[in-house]
Structure 1
Amino acid sequence: MPKIPKFDFSKLKGILKLGKETKKESTPSTDAPSKEKPSGEKGIKGLLEKIKYFISTFWHRKVLFFTFLGVVVLIVAFGILLSRPKVPETFLSEGTQTVENLIISIPPGAFPYEKSFKVRVVPGNSVQGMVSSGNFVSPIYELIPNDGRYDMATLPIKVRYYFPSNLIGSNDSNALAFAGLSSDGKVYNIIPGSFIDRDSRGYFVEASFFVVPRWLGVVSVPGKVLQTGIQEVYRVVSAYPPLLIIPGSDANFAGYYQSSKVTPLSTWQGVFPDRSIYVYKYPLSDTKSYNYTRAFRTFQQSEPMQSPIVFEAERLAQELKRYSNVQFDVLAHEVGGLILYYCLAMHPEIKNIRKVAYVSTPFYGTNVVDPRLATTIYASKPSAAALLYSLPESVVATIQGYLKSYIEAINIYYSDILPNSELLKRLQYLPYRTDIPTIAYMGNTPPLSIDVGGSLFEKFYPELTLNLGDGVVTRNSARLPYMTLKIFNGSWNDFYSSEPFIEEIKKFFAFEIPEIPAYKDDTFAERVKSEKEKILERFITSGSTESFYVDEWKIGDNPYIKFLRTYNYPGTQVAVYGGIVYTADEKGLYVAGTRVWEEFVIGLKETIEGVSYGTQRKVYYRKLADTVTFEQTPADDFIATKDYAIFAKPRDNNKIDFVDNTGNVLVTLQGVYGRVIYDGNELLFVTNREVYRYFYGIKYTAPLGLRNSYDITYAIVADDYIIATTRAYGLLVFDKMGRYACVGEGWIGNLGLYRSGNFIVAVGDSFITLIDFSARRIHRIVEDVAGIVYDATVWENKIYLMTSEGLLIYKIG
């Protein structure tokens, strides 16, 4: 191999040197005279010759030439790279990271395995070809998982974007929302539940999601303003009660359409053309404005249970009070049903609700909103999951999409409707509003042809099992014990538009326009309290614990209770007189299972020498074949005897007037709801605060203290003591001097108290308790009775339980 000569870099200086010396060395001398050229021309020509010579020299030394050329190219390329703007990006697995104005937070344990993401701003030229960026007011961010899998998290991932305040215009605006782009970048979907807030850095919009989208950004709808509260959709001058719709996550249920070009429309107008239609609007899926967010934050600071459902329930209560002169029939769906129920239970003073229909309302929660369960199937390939869970591959893929979309649609409400959530536990202790006729409805078919019956998933998702659930609720979760449940063909988001359901809801909300009575001057004045009443009306702030012995039994083991038989009688109410069993429901009155009266019957109970019940227009006393009729009046409760009727009528300032059928006020008690009870010996007027023995004119007031307050639900007299149940499932015992003791709180049934021989029977929604009061002994029956208890009564030594499984009869003593 020929040896390459080394190049002497010191010669480079000489090569580049300008002047005649270099030329003389390379050109032979001559004595011939030459014509002198201008100096400028000689300089340019000389420079060109030197450049030519320099290049020629480099070319002959090829290694040096290419080395020099490579260095120049590298310098130029490096300069270009330095001049290009750097793409902002960050990496995170857990915790919080920032990319420009975007903050993303992944809570610890969000994924059950090691997982990280690269988050970067998508360069502007890469955005072209995606969805039109005209609606986006932020950069588009790309989220790239290290394993390439866009799985579902078990905890919500939060994103926040700071924006200039001029993008919203006002603090009631909800014009901004996070949106995720489809995998091909051509479509974007708003992430439900975004909200607008502000901190020391400025305004921001924030959202939560469980499945990380590939691309993410913030979109704007200029001029949009959040609307909340009861909104009038359709007005008609009519005597029929208006219909109030309270929707859930299914926007179609409201049937509500609004545009700046047309008047608001509702599909329910076609069902109820003679009624005005109202919709209660709240931002379940819409972006929450700054003012709404601030109100929610203030509520969370003052309320131990920081629940959006409780927050909305309080706002709904304010709205219903604002419309106190309007009597509504209410149709509530899914989450909207929970908001309504909590509102009515916590505010018994709200009396402007005539009837309520709860549609697919998860009173005991729903598993389809649990992301922990969803991750077991979402992360699987449909083909693998089909084999593992014994399901068709197409069903697996559909389940994956349905669970993701439902959980995202519920957004921050998801934790409230998980089974055994704090909200639902608390809801079980709230008093029933039995003064409002109520029915629960559900479907029998999961949506999208899903059916997990016969698979391993049936245990996890009964809501997705044919004939057990409708996609959100099951038969066990769709109603509370005192409610009648009706089931229709279809899923939670479509059966309500079926013809059978529409006919049923028309029937339930049917209204007979009352005749206008002749004018009558109201001349009676409020009765002045006697000195005796003033002495007995007091709050007792001290008490002692009453000693009771408690034994725990199963029904079959306890010697004092014996199951006799079951009758398959229809109804949800029961009363017995003369050994004849009366039952009742919205279809009529039944005697020994045979319908004898076809009309919506309410308030069936035992009265003095007979039974009492009512309809929309009349109140009836019945003893065998004899009946006496009185005019019905708006009241929380009533009772009829052969000589008179008594009504519990609420009034302002948390007081209840107990009036007879002539309008005479018998007594006024403190409280927000009232009840008239015949305990087998005497009449009791009961509110949540007081008990009044009508025949003796003696009043007892429940204690109210800083730590404990006792809301009474039922009461009877035993051995000259007042025995009362409380909303907290306890017993209050008053002696005739008004002193009290509390016992058994947390496990005494509060639906009713019934005396049979030496025992008092406390009835709950699925259990009974025997109380031997004279012996101070409680027989706690820990075994549930068959079915859910709607109502109860006693006759002689038998207790009759009206349940979802029929009429159960037990012998006591």
Structure 2
Amino acid sequence: PGAFGKQKVLKITRLSDEERKLYPDVFVGDLYRVEFADGVDEFALKPIRLKYYFDAKYLRGENYNNLTFAYATEDGGYRIIPGSMIGKDERGYYVEAFTYHLSVFGVVLRSAGFQKHGIRLLREAVNSSGPAVLLVPGEDPTFEGVVKDNNIWETIFPDRTIMTYEYALYEPRSLAYSEMYRSFIEKEGRRSFIDFESDFLSQEILKYSQYEFDILAHGTGGLIVLRMLQRHPEVNNVRKVVLLSTPVQGTNVVNPLYFSSIFYGKDPEVLEDIFGIEWTKLKMLTLHIRNLIDTLGEVVQEILPDSQLVKELREFARNDVEIVSICGDTPPYGVDVSGTELERFYPEFVKGRGDGFVSIQSCRVGKVEQLSGNFYDLYSREENVAYIRKLLKYEVQVFSGFRSDDYEEYLPSKNPELSEESVQKVVEAKETKGTELSVLPVKILFENFLERIRSLELSSYLSGALVGKEVYIATESGVFAWDKKVFDKKIEFFKKVEDYASFVDEGDIFIVDNIGIKKYAPFPLVGDISDALITRNAIIYARVVPGGVRYYLFRNGAEKLLATSPGTTVRMKSENGNYLLITDGEVVAIGSDFKEKGRVLSSLFGEKVKIVDASFKDDAFYILLNDGSIAFVSSSRSETKNYGLTVPKKVLNFQGRILVVYDGVILDLSAGKAQRFDRGIIDVFLGNEGLFIVFDEKVRVSVEEWRLSKD
């Protein structure tokens, strides 16, 4: 509704086999000619939604974007419709897209590509104290700076960590990606791709909470950043934002009404007589506008000057983030509509006022600057690059030494069962420097040391464990023995303990052993329990209280306070006969006799450093920190290494090897080597001959068995 000035009837015709031969063979399935029944071609004022059902055999997988809508061009070629989405309903799989004009349409099968969505690390500057530079591109893909195997931004900021935010503005969208967007629409009650991506970007930045960011955004990418800051005040690790050609107040360039009325279907030579602008430049102007409208699709409606999103951005107020908005002063292709009737409609094409996408008025937010250049080269001109580098400069932090010679900030928190001997041991561990060779490898080598054996897809994942020869996986709906559901209820506290696993359901303890799952005993605890580790004869459980975490031991019908730790998050695990009690502020090792064997505070590594996970081997701790560093702490020495890996997840002791898990990387610390994976890692648990890795497949998860390579 509202796409045309009057009601229009569409005529849809399937092309015959003979007609089909006139078009490229990249199309799969039938081709359809969509035209107006009255024979009058018009450019729509609002996007027209197209939907095409295809054979399921063409779908590579729910996370692959190998199918897209396309239309045939007059020169015998075809053009991809940006932002095509895959869906599924009662009729089957389909591709949908938005267009403003009619043509011959079909579906194109591309080489299978895994959907990219989220922050990707381009280069880690391990020794830099400066904020990471995050690139958020918009309509122009060259802004990402990729030149063969290199990236120009790494040259511009040689001492900074460089990341980029990948999302499908103009790329085809996989089924999983499309369903995420549809869920957002259903939740919000409106369509807003920009707000959808702003929410996702906020989640990504919060995942990288150990970083401070300087954000460099172009075009519509800048709107995603602004909306992220506006909608998510909890994002507080952004220092500066530099916007380039971002239509904060909207842009007229992509207004379908203007384009339809002035340019669509008009002869450029006739327009030259009307507007007094050389026809070749008018032709380039027409192509520029149409390409932008085609690229943005339904997003066009969000960036018009009177859109709801633009109106809400007028209330933008984040004084904690420095924002600089930069506009160019020269429209592309030598176009200048100054002094013509077009100036009233397109101030973005007036030389000295606009850059072909925004004008100096429409980019206003924060501090506004106008530099030489147009929409396509504003960010690459040498003088502009120097200015951007100056805007994002930072002061090098100088280490001023420890606060006291006594290392008081490293003393353990008070514990009712911590002996003086134990306290002395902890203090000595912090003060002793150690003279032997480094325990942690000086460097790591990336090579594949794991091989995939089998894979399983599930709708959700909570925890996993290998018990005997059976793989048990706890999900939000129950427990699976690999792909067979064996317990059809939601459970809590699923953990591997020694050679069995345990969990709780509706007030009962269940044990999982070589025989299977059996009810073991009533669960005797009530109240707000943050985590619990259940053995055959005792329960260790944790409660988060003001000031920290309290661990209790329930055994023989009685409970007692086992330990206290600073922190707000808690996890517990069983490992080689020991129990590790881990908060973000401290790790405590407990023996099988429930006596303390050691503890380490996070403050040993710095004021803002948090503990993510830990392992305890040979009376020494291997501790994973939130900045990605690995720490080794024993009674005789402590050392820390950072290998430039981000988003730390977990530490495992596998057959004497210390394995460290990051989002997309597993590091074998004992061998000094690491393996990269093409998907985000949710969790890893141990097998007999290797690992079970749980991958994030966006909508679902995959559990895969990987074994050590024989070579």
Q: Given the two structures, how large is their TM-score scaled by the length of structure 2?
A: 0.55
- Amino acid across the alignment from 1:110: A
Mapped pair 1:245 → 2:135: yes
Q: How does 1:448-467 map to 2 (within 5 A)?
A: 448-467=333-352
For 1:188 and 1:304, how far apart are their aligned partners in 2? 34
Mapped pair 1:494 → 2:377: yes
SS at match of 1:284: coil
Does the 8 Å contact 2:54/2:93 carry over to 1?
A: yes
Structure 2 equivalent of residue 127 of structure 1? 20
Does the 8 Å contact 1:160/1:205 carry over to 2?
A: yes
- Amino acid across the alignment from 2:21: Q
Mapped pair 1:410 → 2:328: no
- Is 455-464 or 142-151 further displaced after alignment? 142-151
- Amino acid across the alignment from 1:355: K
Q: How does 1:211-230 map to 2 (within 5 A)?
A: 211-213=101-103, 215-230=104-119
Structure 1 equivalent of residue 74 of structure 2? 183
- Amino acid across the alignment from 2:101: V
Residue 652 to residue 149, structure 1, CA distance change in 2 (3 Å) = farther
SS at match of 1:369: coil
Q: How does 1:251-266 map to 2 (within 5 A)?
A: 251-256=141-146, 265-266=150-151
Residue 397 to residue 358, structure 1, CA distance change in 2 (3 Å) = same
Structure 1 residue 144: deviation in Å? 4.6
SS at match of 2:396: coil
Structure 1 equivalent of residue 282 of structure 2? 396
For 1:251 and 1:320, how far apart are their aligned partners in 2? 22
Compare relative contact order (CA 8 Å, sep 6+) and give the higher one, 1 or 2: 2
Identity of aligned residues (%): 34
Structure 2 equivalent of residue 419 of structure 1? 305
- Amino acid across the alignment from 2:349: L
Structure 2 equivalent of residue 297 of structure 1? 182
For 1:304 and 1:140, how far apart are their aligned partners in 2? 33
Residue 447 to residue 148, structure 1, CA distance change in 2 (3 Å) = farther
Structure 1 residue 116: deviation in Å? 5.3
Does the 8 Å contact 1:168/1:223 carry over to 2?
A: no
Q: Residue by residue, what CA displacement relative to the aligned partner does 1:214-248 show, whole Å, maximum 9, x if unpaired?
A: x3221112422211000112334331332110001
More helix by share: 1
Structure 1 equivalent of residue 390 of structure 2? 507
Unaligned runs of 5+ in 1: 1-107, 259-263, 526-650, 654-813
SS at match of 1:510: coil
For 2:380 and 2:3, how far apart are their aligned partners in 1? 38
For 2:160 and 2:336, how far apart are their aligned partners in 1? 38
Q: Residue by residue, what CA displacement relative to the aligned partner does 1:376-402 show, whole Å, maximum 9, x if unpaired?
A: 112322233233334332233222222
Structure 1 residue 257: deviation in Å? 6.4
Q: How does 1:370-389 map to 2 (within 5 A)?
A: 370-377=255-262, 378-389=264-275
For 2:241 and 2:358, how far apart are their aligned partners in 1? 18
- Amino acid across the alignment from 2:388: I
- Amino acid across the alignment from 1:361: T
For 2:151 and 2:14, how far apart are their aligned partners in 1? 43
Structure 1 equivalent of residue 623 of structure 2? none
Structure 1 residue 212: deviation in Å? 1.9
Q: Residue by residue, what CA displacement relative to the aligned partner does 1:608-628 show, whole Å, maximum 9, x if unpaired?
A: xxxxxxxxxxxxxxxxxxxxx
For 2:283 and 2:83, how far apart are their aligned partners in 1? 25
For 1:391 and 1:307, how far apart are their aligned partners in 2? 37
For 1:652 and 1:453, how far apart are their aligned partners in 2? 61
Structure 1 residue 129: deviation in Å? 5.2
For 1:504 and 1:156, how far apart are their aligned partners in 2? 39
Structure 1 residue 297: deviation in Å? 1.8
Q: Residue by residue, what CA displacement relative to the aligned partner does 1:261-298 show, whole Å, maximum 9, x if unpaired?
A: xxx64221221122222110111011122222222222
Structure 1 residue 479: deviation in Å? 2.1
Mapped pair 1:519 → 2:402: yes
Does the 8 Å contact 2:194/2:224 carry over to 1?
A: yes
Q: CA RMSD in A?
A: 2.5
Mapped pair 1:476 → 2:367: no
- Amino acid across the alignment from 1:318: Q
For 2:38 and 2:184, how far apart are their aligned partners in 1? 41
- Is 394-403 or 310-319 further displaced after alignment? 394-403
Structure 2 equivalent of residue 578 of structure 1? none
For 1:452 and 1:228, how far apart are their aligned partners in 2? 39
Mapped pair 1:279 → 2:164: yes
SS at match of 2:45: strand
For 1:270 and 1:161, how far apart are their aligned partners in 2? 44
Mapped pair 1:155 → 2:71: no
> Which residue, out of 316, 326, 329, partners 1:444?
329
Mapped pair 1:137 → 2:57: no
SS at match of 2:29: coil
Q: How does 1:784-795 map to 2 (within 5 A)?
A: none
Does the 8 Å contact 1:168/1:222 carry over to 2?
A: no
SS at match of 1:180: strand
Structure 2 equivalent of residue 198 of structure 1? 88
Q: Residue by residue, what CA displacement relative to the aligned partner does 1:115-151 show, whole Å, maximum 9, x if unpaired?
A: 65543233333333543x0x32122223455676654
SS at match of 2:300: helix
Structure 1 residue 311: deviation in Å? 1.2
- Is 411-420 or 291-300 further displaced after alignment? 291-300
Structure 1 equivalent of residue 193 of structure 2? 308
Larger radius of gyration: 1
Residue 304 to residue 119, structure 1, CA distance change in 2 (3 Å) = closer
Structure 1 residue 317: deviation in Å? 0.6
Structure 2 equivalent of residue 560 of structure 1? none
Q: Residue by residue, what CA displacement relative to the aligned partner does 1:323-351 show, whole Å, maximum 9, x if unpaired?
A: 00012211011111111111112222322
Number of residue pairs aligned between Structure 1 and Structure 2: 409
Structure 2 equivalent of residue 429 of structure 1? 315
Q: Residue by residue, what CA displacement relative to the aligned partner does 1:396-423 show, whole Å, maximum 9, x if unpaired?
A: 3222222111111111211111102111
SS at match of 1:420: coil
Residue 301 to residue 448, structure 1, CA distance change in 2 (3 Å) = same
Unaligned runs of 5+ in 2: 412-566, 570-711
